[in-house]
Structure 1
Amino acid sequence: MAAINTKILPFKAQAFRQGKFVEVTESDVVGQWAVFFFYPADFTFVCPTELGDVADHYEELQKRGVEVFSVSTDTHFTHKAWHDSSDTIGKIKYTMVGDPTHEISRNFGVLREGQGLADRATFIVDPDGVIQAMEVTAEGIGRNAEDLLRKIKAAQYVRAHPGEVCPAKWQEGEETLAPSLDLVGKI
């Protein structure tokens, strides 16, 4: 789980995006912010609520220059079938990546070996392909796209403002900190 500040590893996979099958590689990520949103399986229970939540925030993520790649160990064919049969999943416009070979899940360290499923995990990747944030939750704990968006805003702010950091619960427009000897013991 020492993935923070490491570059994503090469991969190649088939995906479903906006009615088409497409190939996705790590080079599709470089040059933009990206979210890899891993989940255990299509046609389940918590997963569609999370993917739908991200879909509801996708336009705002796009405005911030962020591309979303949801990933499960299902195939791209299964993603299409789920997209076509579920109102919640049907509103997804981002890329749904199939990882039946487990390459991507292993690359990110979230494959449940022996089960063939990915953990419920989120990775924020910067334009250099470097992981800036990650979150992994237990099977029954769904994630919140608003908090994901808040973390992306913080990561983008820190990248654009070297020498500043975002404190707990930081929201865009609020004060940041400039770590220095003068701040030690005063926060």
Structure 2
Amino acid sequence: MSLINTEVKPFKATAYHNGNFIDVSEADLKGKWSVVFFYPADFTFVCPTELGDLADNYEEFKKLGVEIYSVSTDTHFTHKAWHDTSDVIGKLQYPMIGDPTWTLARNFDVLIETDGLADRGTFVVDPDGKIQIVEITAGGIGRDAQELLRKVKAAQYVHAHPGEVCPAKWKEGDETLAPSIDLVGKI
């Protein structure tokens, strides 16, 4: 079953954020746009490149009213240790959620149970707590924060403009489409 347009399932977790441990739940994802960004593990290879890329683009996400939550099956203690010892991870300003019980990985259907790790899953959640974008990639394929920004802008546009859709390669300011019988076979 697709997770698109489903509400985020209840969860309670602890995150490392700006020098503190904080509680995070599904309630924190409501009322604003959120990106829930799963990655396999701390102290690895592709993961820090992705998290660093998100950190480099974090201000752009914040300007859009989007909070980023990175999630792995590591503990919040491990997140702190990684944050304190890695220059790349040290620049992260968004919450790093620990999911050692696999609750979130199961809720978002990204758990690799045999390994106790999460797939690389990206989920964009709207202010109503509903999942609007799902992207899952193989472990060796890193994601691009600029492409995620483009998709978030498209999701926000469609959410704010019922009856309009964003075509392939749409960028902010580009024309959109208003689906109708008149467009059938003409695109």
What TM-score do you get using the length of structure 2 for normalisation? 0.99
Aligned-partner Cα distance in 2 for 1:104–1:139: 18
Equivalent residue, structure 2, for 1:108: 108
1:157 match: 157
Supply the distance in 2 between the matched residues of 1:21 and 1:35 (Cα, whole angstroms): 19
Q: Could you tell me how far apart the structure 1 residues matched to 2:118 and 2:90 are?
A: 22
Q: Distance in 2 between matches of 1:159 and 1:136?
A: 22
Paired letter, 2:53: D
Report the counterpart of residue 45 of structure 1 in structure 2.
45
What secondary structure is seen at the aligned counterpart in 2 of 1:173? coil
One-letter amino acid of the structure 1 residue matched with residue 180 of structure 2: S
Secondary structure of the structure 2 residue equivalent to 1:179: coil
- Give me the whole-angstrom Cα distance separating, in 1, the residues matched to 2:164 and 2:181: 14
SS of the counterpart of 2:101? coil
- SS of 1:133's equivalent in the other structure is strand
* Cα-Cα RMSD: 0.6
1:82-111 per-residue CA deviation (whole Å, 9 max, x = no partner) reads: 000000000000000000000000000000
In the TM superposition, 1:12-27 aligns within 5 A as: 12-27=12-27
Residue type of the partner of 2:102? H
Provide the residue aligned with 2:2 in structure 1.
Answer: 2
Tell me by how many angstroms 1:113 deviates: 1.1
Residue aligning to 2:135: 135
Report 1:170-181 matches (<5 A): 170-181=170-181
The residue type equivalent to 1:104 in the other structure is L
- CA deviations on 1:4-26 (whole Å, 9 max, x unpaired) are 11000000001000000001000
State how many pairs are aligned.
187
Aligned to 1:84: 84
Gaps of 5+ in 1: none
2:175 partner letter:
E
Separation in 2 of the partners of 1:104 and 1:110?
9
Deviant stretches of 4+, over 3 Å? none
Identical positions, percent: 71
Separation in structure 2 between the aligned mates of residue 185 and residue 5 of structure 1, nearest angstrom? 28
- Structure 1 residue 114, shift from structure 2 partner: 1.6
- Whole-angstrom CA distance in 2 between matches of 1:58 and 1:129: 21
User: How far apart, CA to CA, are the structure 2 residues paired with 1:166 and 1:3?
Assistant: 20
Alpha-carbon separation, structure 1, partners of 2:183 and 2:80: 52
User: What SS is found at the alignment partner of 2:35?
Assistant: strand
What is the letter of the counterpart of residue 145 of structure 1?
A
> In the TM superposition, what is the alpha-carbon distance from 1:58 to its structure 2 partner?
0.6
1:71 and 2:71 aligned: yes
Which residue does the alignment assign to 2:62?
Answer: 62
Deviation at residue 151 of structure 1 after TM alignment: 0.3
